[in-house]
């Protein structure tokens, strides 16, 4: 899967994703820290990448736009250390990768994963 890691995603998480064979571009690695959320959406759509972020605004932004891409993975975990995040993220990708490929917003919570297909109906 092609992913775009937001600036708030740890380098260790990016390495773990790559070790699992994911194609990950990173906002932080390209030093594009000033990109706004809409610009990140545009970049992800252009490059056919799924956004990985801790920023909850992406779900709202995609819902408001009524779009079918890009997909987004929103991490809503209190413990944001890679040792806690990585196994949950990798498991969610394995279980819900097909939904993301079809266009979805996936929210990874403490005890569960929620997946909503895009476009999100209001």
CATH number, domain of 97, equals 3.40.50
Count of structural domains within the chain = 1
- End-to-end CA, the chain: 28
Asked if the structure places residue 49 within a domain, the reply is yes
Rounded Cα distance between 95 and 104, Å, is: 13
58-102 pLDDT, tens digit each:
999 998 888 999 999 999 999 999 999 999 999 999 999 999 999
Q: In this structure, is residue 101 part of a structural domain?
A: yes
Q: What is the dihedral of CA 110, 113, 118, 122, to 10 degrees?
A: -60
Asked if residue 55 belongs to a domain, the reply is yes
Q: What is the pTM of this model?
A: 0.95
Helix spans in the chain (H): 11-19, 37-46, 57-65, 82-102
Q: What is the DSSP letter of 35?
A: -
Residue 122 domain-assigned (yes or no):
no
For residue 18, being part of any structural domain is answered with yes
Domain extent, residue 66, equals: 2-117
Residue 92 lies in a domain: yes
């Amino acid at each position: 899967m092609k992913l775009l890691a937001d600036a708030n995603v740890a380098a260790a998480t990016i390495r773990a994703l790559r070790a699992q064979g994911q194609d990950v571009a990173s906002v932080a690695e390209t030093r594009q820290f000033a990109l706004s959320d809409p610009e990140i959406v545009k970049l992800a759509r252009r490059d056919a990448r799924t956004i990985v972020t801790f920023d909850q605004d992406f779900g709202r932004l995609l819902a408001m736009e009524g779009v079918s891409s890009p997909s987004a993975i929103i991490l809503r975990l209190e413990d944001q250390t890679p040792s806690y995040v990585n196994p949950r993220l990798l498991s969610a990708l394995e279980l819900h990768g097909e939904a993301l490929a079809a266009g979805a917003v996936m929210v990874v919570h403490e005890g569960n994963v929620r997946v909503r297909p895009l476009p999100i109906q209001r």
